[in-house]
Amino acid sequence: MMIENSLPAFKQYWETLAYKEPSAIQEKVYEPLKTGKDVVGISPTGTGKTVAYTLPTLEQVEPKAGLQIVILTPSQELSIQVGEVVQEWASQLGLNAQTIIGGANLKRQLDKLKEKPEIIVGTPGRIFEISETKKLKLHAVKTVILDEADQLLQQEQLATVRKLVNKMPGQRQMGFFSATSNELMQDLNKWFNVDPEWIDATEDDRSKGEVLHAYIETPTRKRVETLRRLTHMKDFRGLVFVNNVANLTLAFEKLTYEGISVAVLHGEKYKTERKQALQQFRDGKIKLLLTTDVGSRGLDIQGLPYVIQYDVPLTKESYIHRSGRTARMGKTGTVLTLVNERELREFKKLISSLEIKLSRVYLHGGEIVKELPVAEEQPERVEAVKAPVKVKKTIKPAPAKPEREIVEPVFKKKKHRKKVDKNKGARRKTKNKETTQTKNEEAGT
């Protein structure tokens, strides 16, 4: 057994922490790493991978002999977390571990390097930046560990990782650890000239707790309201994953307006703000922590009951890492995805190869339920009430209008007058006019 073969100081600290049996990945990688072999370690999230590579590699370190172990992680938060774990165990052997990350005070980090730590944990960019100033010597490094290796080997970080490793001795030991693998991990020999032993403990691991994978059908416009209602549940705390910073900020502003205790964690925040938000969430001072996928890798939040997916993840690997934040080390938890009807079809297709049981649930009465209660039937009355009889009104037909008698128009016949009688009136007027004119002339004379 791993712990039985460890140093006495590690055995004692293991018991102090009240750890139980080692996980499958801890057991499987201990001997290969302790004997200096290159290793790929694949195991579900929350199975103790940090301790798995920390103990066997620390046992090879020579105190006061300069930097010998470099542990690389893809994010500042994960570096801080891993650095704390490594320092706990390193201190049992009188060793010194230092965390070096971007966003922190560079001068302070350079001053700390004067203490000559045997172990460094950090992000590739900042470690490479300091190594370029000759303030960090990498020529004596014995072991390099890539934590969340599948992400460190993505195109945006791969070049920096390779340049950093090239500054180390060619015969150094390498370890690659992750919950998931990708195609790039098949090219490790090409990238780093190694032929590692592959150890996949996924099928053998029994430390994973019981997880309810569920979804609530929710229109996009009502998702903030759903989050608000979830916070009213008893003992609720949820790590909420949003795909982009713009949607995250909008949701944060609406929840803050509603008076909900909420904080944010994403790459555009300062290191101190991110550290404070994470600590408040761990301490239970806030109920919701909104984050992008920066929070899906390696973060250990003990006893986290809910992971909420505000947006459907873009890849199945993302779903694995997100859901791994809950039900860690034997605990129970719920992964709740908010989807509309169209997204549901895409979501089911995305996770179809993960062999998980997906349940539909509802938010009702301040609880998450799998079935909505059936409405109670109205009790029957003792006396039946007769329905009023409707009397059909007899509609009398309107009286028929009498037919109008069609009267033929009577046309008077024209009188046939003689030509001499035609225009008699006109002629009479002319004659009268002439007579009047004659009389006036006579009177004038």
Report yes or no on 73 lying in a domain: yes
Residues 22 and 143 in one domain: yes
pLDDT, one tens digit per residue, over 163-219 is: 999 999 999 999 999 988 877 788 999 999 999 999 999 888 776 678 999 999 999
Supply the pLDDT for residue 186: 87
With beta carbons less than 8 A apart as the criterion, state whether 100 and 126 touch: yes
Supply the pLDDT for residue 386: 47
**Phi/psi at 344 (5° precision):** -60, -40
* CA dist 404 → 397, 400, 401, 407, 414 (Å): 20, 12, 9, 9, 30
Report yes or no on 350 lying in a domain: yes
Number of structural domains the chain divides into: 2
With beta carbons less than 8 A apart as the criterion, state whether 225 and 251 touch: no
Report yes or no on 441 lying in a domain: no
Cross-strand pairs, 159: none
Rounded to two decimals, the pTM is 0.73
Residues 215 and 362 in one domain: yes
With beta carbons less than 8 A apart as the criterion, state whether 342 and 221 touch: no
* CATH number of the domain encompassing residue 359: 3.40.50.300
Residues 216 and 320 in one domain: yes
Domain C-terminal end among 148, 181, 200: 200
Residues 180 and 254 in one domain: no
* Domain with 260 in it: 211-369
Report yes or no on 80 lying in a domain: yes
Residues 145 and 9 in one domain: yes
Residues 35 and 71 in one domain: yes
Residues 180 and 257 in one domain: no
Residues 84 and 129 in one domain: yes
CA 57 to chain centre: 35
Give CA torsion, residues 18, 20, 24, 28, to 10 deg.
Answer: 70
Q: Return the DSSP state at 365.
A: T
Residues 187 and 328 in one domain: no
Task: Name the residue with higher pLDDT: 237 or 385.
Answer: 237
- Asked if pLDDT for residue 300 goes beyond 60, the answer is yes
Report yes or no on 64 lying in a domain: yes
Residues 189 and 226 in one domain: no
SS3 of residue 324 by DSSP: coil
Domain C-terminal end among 328, 345, 369: 369
Supply the pLDDT for residue 321: 87
Domain C-terminal end among 320, 345, 369: 369
pLDDT, one tens digit per residue, over 235-283 is: 999 999 999 999 999 999 999 999 999 999 887 676 778 888 888 998 9
Residues 184 and 46 in one domain: yes
**Spatial CB neighbours of 123, under 8 Å, sequence gap ≥ 6:** 72, 73, 74, 75, 76, 79, 100, 101, 102
Report yes or no on 205 lying in a domain: no
